[in-house]
Structure 1
């Protein structure tokens, strides 16, 4: 198409209705000779609104940087905000960390009590007892940035460590993420026991703070849907799906156990995608997708399934924090092309309830896929099948 139209003022003499302006823009955009920005008479531009919210906390973008070591540095937190992240989860405060430090202080007190009076100047610094350093760090981070910060507690059982939830709130966290990471190896402990223990932890944290609390789940519960519902009944405000366990391996050459940080791959996003599509129709809590979110399209997929937000870690480790800007741009351009002005216009339009074949997220898809795998043209064959959706309210047709 002619390049001479680049920069040409295509504004009409009289402002047409918003719908007309939107359709005209998309038509010319698809012809390849006009920008996606819509020029108003006052010179401003209409761009897709990619803001969202999670647990009632307003986010400028549905992309949240998940708990990781990047938040150990104030400059990284600032860069995440500048790159357009909707928020950031501060690296986790672990139950074992708090309890171990408490035991160390108790031991120091016991030793010092046996010293002579002139030696009693030896005394642990109680102002940094337990994980006070962590709380101080959160306070510093809060002063450095304005976007939402989420404190993270990694726990398995009840204990005095729960008091730190209140301290994270006082330090300025907008919300809390409770990471229920537990590998139960006691064969005498039932699934019901494990779930009840987790519910007790949630109740303890919820009773100690006023800010919203989310729970980061593993996908390995016997009934994810039932446990998610019980967490909702316990008062959680959001669920993050899913926790990604770091698995050890064995080095045959050295005959030693090895612990390595393995970054996620894009294919791993399918597991949270399935459960968000299922749970978004049956729960009233907000949902965030975690694991395998690497591109703007991955974010779009999770939003279509019903997520309010997504968490990224591996993608920013690989590509840097500036990659968030690229992901936001991809989301915005997709919304412009589709005619969406806000995320709520399409969020959940591909949840289980809204696809024409609700069983596509369940076992029926698995059975049909195996039975037709030999036929690459089959709906469930080697090439993914596609499922039409019901009428999407708010979508601009054409």
Structure 2
């Protein structure tokens, strides 16, 4: 695949990328404690994967209330900014381009993770179901727990949150990131405002679709004023159905997901942002996005489009050649294969991913995966993102 479009350079806003393969946001829960500070080990991890054309950091909470899982990094303190500078410097040495994903989990949290053990926040006081938060029970040890019942935000507090997103974007630039991505997916805070299921407000931020999209629009406007639209992306998870109603997942299936997300994307087009990232369902036998939706996304949005979700090089190439995607994000295989673009280009086999070391821990399952050496004894050709 060395001569395929996946390995052609492409522009993304003000940046020129060396290929179309993306390292997507992947939660690894390895920040330094106390303080949720990015570490030198994290810098090594990202530098190892800098052969990606484009990299997006793991979700990084914009404020203390934005955390739903122990040991995830933040981007609101000076120590965190300094820690992320180690990461961005390490990536830039290798010629990589990396954006910070700005994250707030909203109601998908627990009082144990919140300042002063208060309730988490959300658009409405509706508890998140079929999802877990993760709290620390002792140093390096934690458990999954049901999220606490959230407190409904006031309008004044919502305005303050918009400002916190803008401040996080400023912090990301200070930390050396090349741009930022707004996490508006997976049932987290921005997605909660968009969703008719999580947002039961009757004020300017709830009710009609246009009002439910107001929070997203205001964040995009505020962050764009800081970084510029050409250094800004937004991530969505537009679920249309699920093949397993009992599966634990944290996205929302709206009554009319096509209308909801095309309208949201229309707002991003008007804002002139650099890219749209769409994360698809990634469990076994997950349904594909409807073809008509993909085509409507392309008709609506003129910036770069990234798709993620169980992609192989071959599957991603088909979407690029069809004109429906510009870049392809490949997640789990990038964890186990720091040289993933080279492996795809050359048809080399892949290292196996160890699921037991994905979240938390230290070097094992993080920075100890080897680049291809020609020895296939510990590799597999299975590619599941």
- TM bucket (normalised to shorter chain) is 0.5 to 0.7
Instruction: Map 1:273-352; keep pairs closer than 5 Å.
Output: 275-293=293-311, 295-305=312-322, 306-317=324-335, 319-329=336-346
Q: Number of residue pairs matched? A: 239
Using the size of structure 1 for normalisation, the TM-score is: 0.52
Offset, 1:214? 0.6
Are residue 138 (structure 1) and residue 157 (structure 2) matched?
A: no
Offset, 1:51? 2.2
Instruction: Map 1:169-188; keep pairs closer than 5 Å.
Output: 169-180=173-184, 181=188, 182-183=191-192, 184=195, 185-188=198-201
Return the match for 1:91 from 58, 73, 77.
58
1:202-224 Cα distance to aligned partner (Å, 9 max, x none): 11111122351011012144432
Q: Tell me, what secondary structure is at the counterpart of 1:292?
A: coil
Are residue 168 (structure 1) and residue 172 (structure 2) matched?
A: yes
Q: Find the counterpart in structure 2 of residue 62 from structure 1.
A: 20
Contact 1:296 1:327 in 2 (8 A): yes
Q: Tell me, what secondary structure is at the counterpart of 2:55?
A: strand
Give the Cα separation in 2 of the matches to 1:135 and 1:270. Answer: 38
Distance change (3 Å), C-alpha of 1:148 and 1:205: same
Q: Tell me, what secondary structure is at the counterpart of 2:310?
A: coil
Are residue 227 (structure 1) and residue 264 (structure 2) matched?
A: yes
Return the match for 2:226 from 202, 208, 226.
208
Q: Tell me, what secondary structure is at the counterpart of 2:58?
A: coil
Give the Cα separation in 2 of the matches to 1:266 and 1:297. Answer: 18
Q: Find the counterpart in structure 2 of residue 113 from structure 1.
A: none
Q: 5+ unaligned residues in a row in structure 2: which ranges?
A: 31-41, 68-73, 107-157, 239-253, 349-385
Distance change (3 Å), C-alpha of 1:276 and 1:52: farther
1:15-45 Cα distance to aligned partner (Å, 9 max, x none): xxxxxxxxxxxxxxxxxxxxx99xxxxxxxx
Offset, 1:170? 2.3
1:152-184 Cα distance to aligned partner (Å, 9 max, x none): 102475423221101201222112111113335
Give the Cα separation in 2 of the matches to 1:275 and 1:135. Answer: 38
Q: Tell me, what secondary structure is at the counterpart of 2:11?
A: strand
Q: Tell me, what secondary structure is at the counterpart of 1:271?
A: coil
Offset, 1:78? 1.8
Offset, 1:137? 2.2
Distance change (3 Å), C-alpha of 1:97 and 1:312: farther
Give the Cα separation in 2 of the matches to 1:304 and 1:192. Answer: 34
Distance change (3 Å), C-alpha of 1:154 and 1:313: same
Instruction: Map 1:266-277; keep pairs closer than 5 Å.
Output: 268=286, 270-271=288-289, 275-277=293-295
Distance change (3 Å), C-alpha of 1:144 and 1:235: same
Distance change (3 Å), C-alpha of 1:80 and 1:94: same
Using the size of structure 2 for normalisation, the TM-score is: 0.54
Distance change (3 Å), C-alpha of 1:137 and 1:299: farther
Offset, 1:47? 8.7
Q: Tell me, what secondary structure is at the counterpart of 1:225?
A: helix
Contact 1:290 1:310 in 2 (8 A): yes
Q: 5+ unaligned residues in a row in structure 1: which ranges?
A: 1-35, 38-45, 101-127, 245-263, 332-398
Q: Which has the larger radius of gyration?
A: 1
Aligned-residue CA RMSD (Å): 3.3
Offset, 1:56? 3.9
